[in-house]
Each structure stands twice: as structure tokens, then as C-alpha cells.
Structure 1
């Protein structure tokens, strides 16, 4: 395996998993309210969905969604409803979790939440219809050659092998690294600052509700 390709895959995987959004909101809520294990499980739910999309992309099934104009608006609507529903649950968590340990009494549902949201997330599906296909297509990508102004001087310095096992190992390794480290950091902070549990749960509710409203609006506009 090319070391450069593996490292590029790791960076790509982290870049996909790290941005703020509904998945990381649920991971944050589970990590601070119930601990690292619950947060890690929530991350596994999102990662499992990516693995499933990867398999479906290999089989050419994901591309079928692009053939039907109403498919994406319906996914937006369904995803929006789920996010709003999970936001209500996060509000309840915020009220019940007076400290880091108080919130850990209930059963963790983070895995089911992130897995369900990922399967109905048009952005995630869109990734596998576009960049995901590029990951699987055999070839090479001269990464630094596209840097403005200095691209010509850096040409050939970092060549990534697309469609190779090395890139895919690095990509999913990057996602795995994120779902291990992110909950660990949050859980550690939660233990040090007891009041963080209800605050993070409330923040999760706001993020989920915000994305839910946006998804519902986009889905309704697509159907109308």
C-alpha cells in the first residue's frame, strides 16, 4: 500500500466525518450524557451507513436514486421529520441530565438514530454519488498539482491512487479515528465539567431541530 494514499484517505475520512451537523450533534449528546461507549456506538451507526453506501455504490444501486426526481425531496422530508423527532428527545435529555452521571441511566439509542439519519441523508447519498464514485474509480490524483499559484512546482509530490485498497483503508480508518477520538474528548470534558451534560443535550436539540426544519423546507420545495 502507498503510504501517501493511505494518509490521504485518512485525511479525507476525517474531513467527511468532522464537520458540525446532525450526526456529530447526536454523538456529542450521547458522549456527554452517557459516556464514551454510547458516543462511540452513535459514531458506529453513521460509519455503518457509509459502509453500506460503499457496498451499494460498488453494486451501482445508489446511482438509481439520481434517476428519480422525487427521490431526493422525499428523503429530505423523511430525514427532516426524523431530525425533529430526535430533537424532542434531546430536549428531554437536557431536562433530565443534571450532571454527567445523571443522564447515563437511560438506554442509549444513538446507534439507531445516526444509522437511520444517515440512510435518509441526501448529503451523504450525494457524496457517494459523486466523490464516492471517484474514490472507487481506478486512477491517480495529483493532489498538490491543483494548489493555486504553486501547483506546477508541487506537481508529482503527492499522487493518490484512487480506486485502490490503500485509499479505502485510509478513508474508513479516518472515520474510525474520528468516532473514537471525538466522543473520548467530549466524555472527558463532561466528567470535568458536570454542567456540560444538559448544555450539550440542549445544543444537540437545537442543531437537530435546525437541520430538521431546513430539510423539511428543501423537501417541500422539491415536491412543489
Structure 2
């Protein structure tokens, strides 16, 4: 019987490599973490990971392929995602400037739940996540080989061939989600630790999150308009 440990560890590395690079999901996690605490940040990351689980199931059922086959449906999803990102960017900017909080302040549980919903909805309308599960993600359960670092954002080309694993093992999927879990719990913890040392840390993170979300929001809207045109 094959040893599942190598596949499990490779999955952890893969999940970390995909979850760690800067992007809209990490911007939302960061903003929630510094303004509402570790629980809110971790729950926000859980929202994004839950969307990945939904995409996994939808990929196996052919739903993601359906979305990609009809550009109008895809453009509508991307457009909604762009609008939401701009809206959340406004909320993050308000936090950075000391304006009215975009998140209700009626308890830590409510704030954590709000972050979960934000990340979940954004992830469901993120074309990059859809494309990942349409191409690479669904292939994780099919027999074959996967060059793990080749798909790492920004630096994948430089790491090609460094870690190649066999796919088709459930341990790879389990490890993948374990890697994401490590990130969505460790990243908020690191932010909170830094915040305790730097008084002005929260406004800086909120401002950076607003810029990232606004930038991706504009990109998504332009993508949607071009597709519909």
C-alpha cells in the first residue's frame, strides 16, 4: 500500500503556496484581522476556503466548466465580484481613515461571521479561483503528475520542476486544505502580533487592503465589460 505521507505533505506545501501570495482574499483577511481580531481574520479565511471546497465539488460535477463555457454568465459573476471588491475597499478605506466602520460592532461573533460572508462571496465571484478549479484543481483527484510550484503566483516560472508529485490521492486534497488552514490561522496571528508592537499598524494594513481590493475590483470590472462587449 503506497505511503500517503508524501502526498499529504506535498498538498500542504501546495495549499500554502497558493494561499500566501498577495491578493483580494488576503487583503480581506488582513483588514478583518487588524480591526476585529484573530477570530474574525481566521473566520474570513475560512470563508475563502469554504468557497474552494464548493468549487471542488462543482468541478467534479461539471458546474465550473459550465460557467466557463458561457462567457455571459462568467462576465456577470466577475462584474459582481468587482463591485463587491470596490464596496469592501470603501469599507477598508473608512477603517484606515477612522471613518464609520463597514462592519457592525455588535459583538465579536457577528464581526467574524461578517468576514466569513465577505470572503465567501468574493471567492465565489473570483475568476482566478474558478479557472484554478477548472484546470488544476479538478485534476488533483485524477491519476497523473503535478508540478506543485509551477502554479505558484508570481514566482512559479522560477520554481518549475522543484516539487513534482503524483495526483489521484485523497491525501493530496486533504493536505491541500490543511495547507490553506495553516495560512488562514497563522496569517491573522502574525498580523495581530505585529499590531501589538506597532500602534499605527491597523490603519496601514486597512489602507493597503483598500488599495488591493480597489485595484482588483477595477480589473474585474474591466474584464467583465470586455467579455460582454
- Partner of residue 124, structure 1: 129
* Contact 1:33 1:104 survives alignment (8 Å): no
* 1:165-187 Cα shifts (integer Å, max 9, x gaps): 11011100100010011110001
- Partner of residue 52, structure 1: 54
How many residues are matched? 210
Distance 2:85 2:174 in 1: 31
Distance 2:57 2:126 in 1: 17
- Partner of residue 22, structure 1: 24
Q: Unpaired segments of 5 or more residues in structure 1?
A: 98-102
1:169 aligned to 2:181? Answer: no
Q: Structure 1's 120 and 159: CA in aligned 2 closer, same or farther, altered over 3 A? A: closer
Normalization by structure 2: what TM-score? 0.84
- Partner of residue 6, structure 2: 4
Q: How does 1:174-213 map to 2 (within 5 A)?
A: 174-213=179-218
* 1:95-122 Cα shifts (integer Å, max 9, x gaps): 238xxxxx99785221111000000001
SS in structure 2 of the partner of residue 161 of structure 1: strand
- Partner of residue 63, structure 1: 65
Q: How does 1:77-156 map to 2 (within 5 A)?
A: 77-96=79-98, 107-108=110-111, 109-141=114-146
After TM superposition, what 4+ stretches of structure 1 lie above 2 angstroms from structure 2? 103-107, 138-144, 158-161
Normalization by structure 1: what TM-score? 0.86
Q: Structure 1's 89 and 131: CA in aligned 2 closer, same or farther, altered over 3 A? A: same
Cα RMSD between the aligned structures? Answer: 2.4
Please tell me whether Structure 1 or Structure 2 has the larger radius of gyration of its CA atoms. 1
